[in-house]
Chain A
Amino acid sequence: MLKIAGSMASPAVVQRGGVTRDTHKLFAETVLPHLDDAHHLARWLTGNATDAEDVTQEACMRALRALDRAPVANPRAWLLAITRNTAFTWLARNRPKSVVLTDDPEAAADASDMDTAAPDAAMIAAADAAALEKALAGLPLPFREVLVMREMNGLSYREIADAIDVPIGTVMSRLARARGLMLAALKGQI
């Protein structure tokens, strides 16, 4: 179910050219530029900055070990995939109650939305950060992760699908559901 990104056979892998490898240089070029991104994802997956530091650090350790195994074509998506998987194992280990993975999250929260009484665009634009963050934090994990990867990390559907190992169609329906849930939650707050 949960996959370790290090072993991910994604199309993001190309053949390594040279023989010499300078781990420091590779790490500095591949991992370090995307630390903030990884940390931001970890923060929203774990729910707070302290836990996120643990996850970010562990993800970087995993990334460092994986660097030796295969070269990376899309470092940001690659590091985020590792971060996401690290966060899940970390949560399962340290916050087991927060990870409720149903086999089919879409079925668990059926899409009977299109709420006609949803807040209008102007009200949403005026919503304060605290209300948004609260609504986002309240999303079930499978919906929260796709929304954060999409809006905060700016990953494409293809990159999200690779990272969480589901078809693109599932990414789309989870995004739709996540946004529907956000709007419903904001309706109660703004």
Chain B
Amino acid sequence: MAEPRDKLLLLQAALDGELDAAGMLAFERLLSEDADLAADYGRQKALRDALRALPKAVVSGALRGQIEAMAPPRRAPFRQWVPMGLAACVAFLIGSSVTYLVLPQPPSQEMAALVGDHVRGVISGQPVDVVSSERHTVKPWFASHTALSPEVVDLKDDGFPLVGGRVDVVGVTPVPTLVFKRRAHLVSLAEVPNTIAQIPLGHGALNGLSLLAWREGSVTYVAISDAMPEDLDALKEAFDKAIAAPP
């Protein structure tokens, strides 16, 4: 324990409560013999206490709200009744009208809203509210315009350069939508919290546009484009890869 460096490390351990009783005893003996060490210990202890007394940064209410909204509660109270209700509905539908089941499903309202926003963007020539291929411009913009700050990735290397971002409205809720380019086509990728809409997953088509919806944790991603359905599969693959990788 003669080395000054060892003493210094021992002092740290004593200060931080990392010594056991025997170690602390030995250290106290050392302190009583070494005035320099004792003075240093006093200084460091004062510094420790002063640092611990510094005011703590606190998360603002707005940010806390945004973070809490990342994992919204499931509608719990009647959970047990839901399967029974569904079963009853299915039985009723089959019993009353088998033909209904073979007719194409009408698009959900939410899907129709997203497709509508995509179409409006393409027709108006202004598919994005914030133009940028720079993801660090797009992400903060979303953070200030929607409750949820989405994953923003540029998939240029996979053939989907980022064009920018836009806010779509599902029901009355603004949701973030990324816009990518696929050759001459635009692809909208909306991120819809599962709490505001239960969107049917998988491939679909509406008004000649290809659709692909998939779920990731608490959100559903909806890709819309006049490109081929395979292009949407490629987008999903590239997107999954990009958000799984560390930025």
Contacts and interface: CB of A to CB of B under 8 A. Distances in A.
A121 B48 CA distance: 11
A132 interface: yes
Contacts of B53: 129
A43 B8 CA distance: 29
Nearest to A6: B246
Given A32-B68, A53-B60, A56-B59, A179 B143 contact: no
A18 B72 CA distance: 21
A75 to B, nearest CB: 14
A71 to B, nearest CB: 15
A60 B42 CA distance: 39
B13 A172 contact: yes
Main secondary structure of the interface of A (DSSP, over half): helix
Nearest to A41: B57
Contacts of B49: 125
A140 interface: no
Main secondary structure of the interface of B (DSSP, over half): helix
A176 B8 contact: yes
Interface in A106-120: 111, 113-114, 116, 118-120
Interface in A145-159: 147, 150-152, 156-157
B247 A120 contact: no
Contact of A152 (B56, B64, B140): B56
Contact of B52 (A28, A119, A151): A151
Nearest to B247: A89
Interface residues on B, range: 35 or more
Interface in B77-130: none
B39 A120 contact: yes
Contacts of A165: none
A159 B50 CA distance: 22
Given A60-B70, A64-B217, A136 B51 contact: yes
Contacts of B63: 39, 53, 56-57
B191 to A, nearest CB: 12
Interface in B1-42: 4-5, 8-9, 11-13, 16, 18, 36, 39-40, 42
A36 B140 contact: no
A111 B46 contact: no
A189 interface: no
Contacts of A151: 48, 51-52
A116 B49 CA distance: 21
Nearest to B5: A111
Interface string A74-108: 00000000000000010001100000000000000
Given A23-B71, A176-B9, 9 more contacts: A22-B74, A36-B59, A40-B57, A53-B59, A111-B8, A121-B42, A150-B16, A152-B54, A157-B18
Q: Which 3 A-B pairs have the closest CB atoms?
A: A27-B71, A124-B46, A121-B42
Interface of A: 2, 4, 22-24, 26-28, 31-32, 35-36, 39-40, 43, 49, 52-54, 56-57, 60-61, 64-65, 68, 89, 93-94, 111, 113-114, 116, 118-122, 124-125, 127, 129, 132-133, 136, 147, 150-152, 156-157, 169, 172-173, 175-176, 179, 182-183, 186
19 contacts: A24-B74, A27-B71, A40-B56, A40-B57, A40-B58, A54-B140, A54-B143, A113-B8, A114-B36, A120-B42, A121-B39, A121-B46, A124-B47, A129-B54, A152-B56, A156-B16, A157-B13, A176-B8, A182-B51
